[in-house]
Amino acid sequence: MTWESRIIGHGEMDPHELIPNPKNWRTHPKLQEKALEGALEDIGWIQDVIVNERTGKLLDGHLRVELAKKRGEHKIPVVMVDLSEEEEALALLTLDPISAMAEADKKQLSSLLEKTTSDNAAIQNLIKSLDEKEVKQKEFVLEDFIFPEVETPCWFVIRGDQEQYTELRSALEKIIKKYNARLESSE
């Protein structure tokens, strides 16, 4: 069985005519706004906003639309889809979280970071934060924590630097020690 394409058209629309979706649960902090504005200034439009033709509401691209309005843009790229209200709600709920599940290929990211520059301060900050967050962090696995009422051993994955690992391990050990002491005193 093939996946059904729900895309019914591409074009350009006036951002002032686009209706923000009242069910949109994502908010956009200033840092994200500045980074997106910087990317649009450096590169331009490389992604359409998504509009559900049936309801006339945005599905994706709310921040891009707001930035275009502030800038006085008269036309922005859109992709039109045809979804029921239930499907629209499911799309709103899943689009960003599915994208956020992607993990970094640190070698590929390092290569991109080395070869990429921007004069835009917001993009420079984004690149720096990617380097610190994705490349310089390490994964540490704590495998030796045992909880008496859990038959299967537990482990925790910590992403961060050595100092963060040491601090968190120490905190977990204290919590588990108190927990075990309470169990013993209640017996």
Residues 27 and 62: their CA atoms lie apart, in Å, by 9
Residues 43 and 59 reside in one and the same domain:
yes
Query: Can you give the pLDDT at residue 128?
Result: 83
Residue 50: pLDDT over 60: yes
CB 91 within 8 A of CB 33: no
Looking up residue 75, the CATH number of its domain turns out to be: 3.90.1530.10
Q: What is the pLDDT of residues 59-112, one digit of tens each?
A: 999 999 999 999 999 999 999 999 999 999 999 999 988 888 888 888 888 888
CA 51 to chain centre: 20
Pick 100 or 3 by higher pLDDT: 3
Residues 68 and 144 reside in one and the same domain:
no
Residues 60 and 124 reside in one and the same domain:
no
Residues 24 and 22: their CA atoms lie apart, in Å, by 6
Q: Give the tokens for residue 119.
A: 């004069």
Confidence of residue 147 (pLDDT cuts 50, 70, 90): low
Q: How many domains are there within the chain?
A: 3
> Please, what is the average pLDDT of the chain?
85
Q: What is the pTM of this model?
A: 0.70
Residues 62 and 131 reside in one and the same domain:
no
Closest by CA to 4, choosing from 78, 86, 83, is 83
